[in-house]
Structure 1
Amino acid sequence: MANDRYQRAEGPYDIHMPVSMIPGSGEVAGGTGTVVRVRCPMHKFLTLKPASKKEEPTFGQMAAYLRETLRYTYANLLRDKAFTICFTAVDKSGASDGGEITGALEPNWRDGQMTELPPVETDLGGGPVTICCRYGSIRRSKENAFYYRANMASSGAEIRINGRAIQHGLYNEIWGKALHPSQNRFLAQIDILSDQAEALPDTKSAKNGLREDDAKVAALFSWIRANIPEPIKEEGREQMLVQMLAEKKSAESGVLRVSTEKNLYQCLNLQIKSDLFVSSTEGVTLFEAKAGGSKAEDLYQLRMYHDGCVADDMEVREAVLIAQRHPDTVRALLTELNRQKDKKGRPYHFALTTWDEEGI
């Protein structure tokens, strides 16, 4: 721009597109930058619409989908303020929508459940690269649900090259097994940095995936397997959370006994085990634990624990359902059950809590 001119390449995409130098700044805003203008048939523009959206989108909604796609694709670069993106979408009637992309689309990591590795210098077979990596468990959030839905399609490994998203949802390709539904919150973000193209893993021509026949891609997957632990299944995570809760309850004043998987209904020899049994000077507290969201039947499981204690002549002070979240249906059933009484005529006292509320 110091020479008051800009470069323009125009025509059908080709590696040998003609380039011309033109005086002035053209449509470049802010003194310097790049302007890209493309025509897109509506049927291709509509491919931005998430499959979960069944209704026909408006042009404004489609522009919003484009904005979210750009926020995701260039998230690392937007986060690091390497550049800014402004876009304008214009339909055939002349209506327009767009604006500046104001921020990166980032995952919402669960508290204390994200690990970030220091940048690692390595060689994937074509020269030195730097790998930046973070992994952990994410929350579902309306703010980033366009790409980070904590489901099978959006979980697993997300590969970026020099900050740009290349491919996501990789799991079987790396670990050689299908993702278990209880592992849907797992996300690993890997960004490979280098200014030497030959050092980077090969991508498909559309930059929408890695080339499976590239030895550097195989080396990258080996690096991931060596440095990122496989996500544990929800059942294993649930046991870990219960153990953490048990340790926390053990440290509270007045606690006499803390037991995981305590046998209940011993009078009938049923061998029913509660997730957590806490006895204190104030009485017995029972826990039914769910690593994810709770369901109505979980309250009936908790009621069985309560009735088992009563059958074994133990008075229950409180029975608690702990989970990541509780839907309204569970809250409504809780209110109904607390209107009832156990077989000894004492009112039930069921309660709800979350792992966050317990500081876990």
Structure 2
Amino acid sequence: MKLQRSGFVAGIALTATIALTACGSDNVEPTTGGTSAAPGDCVSGSLTAQGSTAQKNAMDEWIKAYQTKCGADAKVDYQGTGSGAGIEAFIAGTADFAGSDSALKEEEQPQADAKCAGGKALNLPMVIGPIAVVYNVEGADGLQFSSSTLAKIFAGKITKWDDPAIAAENSGAKLPAANIETVHRADESGTSDNFTKFLSKTAEADWTYGNAKAWKAPGGTAVSKSDGIATKVKGTANTISYIEMSFAENQSLQTAKIKNGAGEYVALSAESAGKTFENAEIKGKDGDLALSLDYATKTAGAYPIVLVTYEIACSKGSGKAKEIQSFLKFASSAEGQKELSELGYAPLPETLRAKVAESVASIA
């Protein structure tokens, strides 16, 4: 079915129609309400969660706003340990919910479901996090790359900044005859999974390492967590890496334009990343909202390297169901999503946000 998108992305009104097609049986039209957690929705108690570093800045803001609204007795502790660690903690029962930049893998789903007595683990998209390609090359402002060139750089096939392939895409740029130092995540990361998914879907001939949370390509420098990547690139000349837009903005890093499926080199912004979701497909069902993204999007003005951060939570069977529902109700509310605009994230399209709120309301 076609869903209409309204609302704001980074404060800019968007009126595009979103083709979020529900593939499963969850074809109920969403409501367009979504008030924030009012005092009557607040639940005293404590939650422990961990996972995605991509959403850490969003979580910090949500927790602050939620506790301001609900009081000090409504406690949420979220640690940015990485998506892989978050899912492991959820499966082990040491996290009440997990943050992940990828939906649960097929082999992870039954393990996660086992923690939900009489229910299942839901993938609830909560944050749209554009992935920036960041670099530190003195005097080389405004660089742009195709997926093929990026794949060759991160696979170690292009090793110099003045390589002809880079020069061909950056006419007039001041490119040094210096070695390229690629930087990737040392820990399992949904950001790595989404970045390598983009490469594997759009530059298959040049990227033969597939996609995964764990980095598989040889060479390069491994650094833990998103803030570690940002610090490394900012402090080291001739580096290139991938990182969530919010962390790139916090460190004032140079970001590259990326060529999309329409042949356009598009600058990174919340608005341009949001356009990639115009053809997103809901592949989950029965309240699960795992998405399938088109990394080769031909939508005009779409920035193609994006991720969605999910909250992994039990549909029922959790001993902290009321607390989880209360906090995620705030995060998925229109008010909660507005908190994202100034943090380098894009709020969920309104129709998707309403479906997330509907799934959260069913947690028992």
**TM-score bucket (shorter structure):** under 0.3
The structure carrying a bigger strand percent of its residues is: 1
TM-score (norm 2): 0.23
TM-score by length of 1: 0.23
Q: Which has the larger radius of gyration?
A: 1
